[in-house]
Amino acid sequence: MMNLIKKLTHNPKNDILSGITVALALVPEAVAFAFVAGIDPLIGLYGAFMVGLVTALFGGRPGMISGATGALAVVMVSLVKEGNEMMPGVENAGVQYLFATLIVMGLLQILAGVFKLGKFVRLIPHPVMLGFVNGLAIVIFLSQLGMFKSGGEWLEMSDLMVMLGLVALTMAIMYGLPKLTDKIPSGLAAILVVSLIVIFGGIDTATVQSFVQASGGEGIEGGLPSFMVPQIPLTWATLKFIFPYAAILAAIGLIESLMTLTLVDEITETRGSSNRECVAQGGANILNGFFGGMGGCAMIGQSMINVNSGGRGRLSGIVAALMLLSFILFLSPYIEQIPIAALVGVMFMVVIGTFAWSSFRIMHKIPFADAFVLVLVSGVTVVFDLAIAVICGVIVSALVFAWQNATKIRARKTMKEDGTKVYEIWGPLFFGSVTAFNSKFTLKEDPDQVEIDFIDSKVSDHSGVEAIRSIVNKYEEAGKTVKLKHLSSDCKSILMKANPKFDEIILTDIDDPRYYVMSDMAVHDAE
């Protein structure tokens, strides 16, 4: 037993206490996101439990917390609505379509892990990462503002002041307690203290119970999730309907999970496995589809609560999931008495800890393009969702990189004693620099013998290869002879496949040690 615990954590006390704290914070989040998606709150709680447990046990990032998230819930709204319309008269038809979609979503996520697509998260630039955390911090903050409303209207002044006072007390405890002791997670202590003050002080304020009832549920009490096969027609029309939703949900879930994984990696100075996380997320969502859960992905807010509370091992996520289940099975009367203000205070501290305040300090020091990407990703995350924001940020960063490198190609022109003109190409040759590359040649003024030397140039893509082929053809059509030197082995191979005559114009008998060293390195990198 001790060996098992050691595999799950190096610090059982911290993981257990932080897991309890996370479980308490998961309840209103799961209920709120289920309400957004238009489904029963218990489905959201079941989903948070199953996703949290599976990813804690088998995921690629110990200490990262998964559960029902708003990014997925927003997509599920239209899925459930259209599902109800596809089977009119059938109760909860949309929910059945949701469960089937989760199964397909999970399969897609597993495939992403099997084919090792998770590694592409490393290609996400740092400004996109900063924009991601800033945008998500703003989203978390804005989502908590709904707790200060009742029936869509702001609370009355007296109720609002009580709520704000309790939130401030929670935040003060979380700020001050770590300065006195680090033996107890500040979030858990703050929730307990504020809950006792509200219960024994008879303070009239919103609680978990009133929040669940306002969201359309009777409470958080329930039984164990049971196995079921989604009751939908197994037809081509059904697959055409659910597959686009499954693909969108899979993409959003993986992007949010892998971005959170990267963030936790940076905080803990360790490295998780992105591909393993893809498989675990997929397996968890398939389980949700068969056991009636909402599905989910990694949650940055709860992950930050866990890490900041000292939860670094798998045990913290396992405890959080099992505690959430125990709330549903046994402890619902007690959990329902927790004031919402305490949980809001915890989330506000998460917002403060998540936001990259350093981005304000470095904004005027980094290139304008990076600053623009940072602001763009933050804004798109708030207005749309995380997946769109990250995709936009990566595309803009890639275009900026391509534009900057497109201007770096150079051609130094020299003449040999025999009258041969030599073009020494410097810089990367790819789709963005093809036009600049072509402009370097003066075909009409050049002598009959021309040599193009690529020793200091890297041909990066097929556009670059095509540019070489095109310029050779132009010289030959003009009746001039052209030779190519220092081409990489892969570039030579592509050119000769396109036209065997290139074997005659590519010089391979070259007395230049640098060329062979670079050529060997290129082959090694390709392997």
Mean pLDDT is lowest, of 15-19, 148-152, 170-174, 308-312, for: 148-152
Q: Which residue ranges make up each domain of the chain?
A: 11-397, 407-526
- The Cα–Cα gap between 338 and 320 comes to 17
pLDDT(445) > 50: yes
**pLDDT value of position 3:** 59
Q: 1-15, 155-169, 487-501 — which one is most confidently predicted on average?
A: 155-169
pLDDT-derived band at 375 (thresholds 50, 70, 90) equals: very high
pLDDT at 212 over 50: yes
How do residues 84-98 score in pLDDT, each as one tens digit?
888 887 778 899 999
Share of the chain above pLDDT 70, in %: 94
pLDDT tens for 50-68 read: 999 999 999 999 999 999 8
- Cα→Cα distances 207→28, 162, 204, 356, 361, Å: 10, 13, 9, 31, 39
- The whole-number average pLDDT for the span 327-336 is 88
Confidence label for 420 from pLDDT (cuts 50, 70 and 90) = very high
Q: What is the pLDDT of residue 401?
A: 86
Helix (H) / strand (E) containing 100: helix 93-114
Average pLDDT over residues 233-245: 92
- H/E run at residue 412: strand 410-415
Q: Inform me whether the pLDDT recorded for 8 exceeds 90.
A: no
- Return the minimum-mean-pLDDT range out of 80-94, 238-252, 320-334, 444-458: 80-94
Q: How far is CA 60 from the centre of its chain?
A: 14
State whether residue 441 is helix, strand or coil: coil
pLDDT value of residue 518: 43
Amino acid identity of residue 295, one-letter, is G
Tens-digit pLDDT profile for residues 457-479: 888 888 888 899 899 999 999 99
Contact 99, 47 (CB under 8 A): no
Instruction: Compute the average pLDDT of residues 97-118.
Output: 94
Residue 5 has pLDDT above 80, yes or no: no
Q: Which residues contact 194 (CB under 8 A, 6 or more apart)?
A: 166, 169, 170, 173, 339, 341, 342, 345
CB distance 140 to 350 below 8 Å:
yes
What pLDDT score does 178 carry?
Answer: 85
163-191 mean pLDDT? 88
Q: How confident is the model at residue 244 (pLDDT cuts 50, 70, 90)?
A: very high
Task: Please report which confidence band the pLDDT of residue 519 belongs to, taking 50, 70 and 90 as the band edges.
Answer: very low
What's the DSSP call for residue 1?
A: -
pLDDT band at 421 (very low <50, low <70, confident <90, very high): very high
Phi–psi pair at 123, nearest 5 degrees: -85, -5
Q: Where are the alpha helices (DSSP H) in 270-367?
A: 274-291, 300-308, 314-326, 332-335, 340-354, 358-362
Who contacts 246 (Cβ-Cβ below 8 Å, separation ≥6)? Answer: 101, 102, 104, 105, 108
| pLDDT at 524 > cutoff 50 | no
CATH architecture, domain 407-526: 2-Layer Sandwich (3.30)
Question: What pLDDT score was predicted for residue 517?
Answer: 43
By 3-state DSSP, what share of the chain in percent is helix, strand and coil, each rounded to 5? 70, 10, 25
pLDDT the model gives residue 403: 85
Sign of the Cα pseudo-torsion (272, 273, 274, 276, in order): negative
Asked if residue 230 lies in contact with residue 97, where contact means CB atoms within 8 angstroms, the answer is: yes
Across the chain, what does the average pLDDT equal?
86
Query: pLDDT class for 47, splitting at 50, 70, 90?
Result: very high
pLDDT of residue 523: 39
Rg (CA), the chain: 29
Going along 206-267, which residue ranges are E strands? none
Provide the pLDDT for residue 511: 54
pLDDT at residue 350 is higher than 70? yes
Place of tokens 């060997």: 520
CA max distance for the chain: 100
514 has a pLDDT exceeding 80:
no
Q: In the predicted model, is pLDDT for residue 33 greater than 90?
A: no
Average the pLDDT over each of 78-87, 117-126, 272-281, 443-452 and give the range with the smallest value: 117-126
